[in-house]
Amino acid sequence: MQVHYGFDDIKDMDIMAFLPLILPFIAVTFLLVSIAWIDLYRHRKTRDNFLIWTVVILFVSMIGPILYLVIGRKDRVKS
């Protein structure tokens, strides 16, 4: 019984077999990032932490855009 996988085993794996499982996550992540980025750009003058939210949206993968859409949209400067 083999417990550990080596680099040779990973090299021999067929990536196309996992594509139907990975592709929906990639599509949802891209959609969420796009929606959050567009909303942040449209309201950039009324946001307190524009740069911080940009970094969160881009670099915190799928959770960053969700955090922005739930928390960040309420973070507006009262004019």
Query: Considering only CA atoms, which of 60, 29, 27 is closest in space to residue 71?
Result: 60
- Residue 79 inside a domain? The answer is no
- Residue 4 inside a domain? The answer is no
- Residue 49 inside a domain? The answer is yes
- CA dist 48 → 5, 12, 22, 26, 59 (Å): 48, 49, 35, 29, 19
Domains contained in the chain, number: 1
- Residue 7 inside a domain? The answer is no
Check residue 31 and give its pLDDT: 93
Domain extent for 29: 17-74
**Rg, Å, the chain Cα set:** 19
- Residue 69 inside a domain? The answer is yes
- Residue 5 inside a domain? The answer is no
Is 0.85 surpassed by the pTM of this model?
A: no
- Residue 11 inside a domain? The answer is no
From first to last of the 79 residues of the chain, give the pLDDT tens digit: 566 767 777 777 777 888 888 899 999 999 999 999 999 899 888 877 888 888 988 888 888 888 888 888 776 655 5
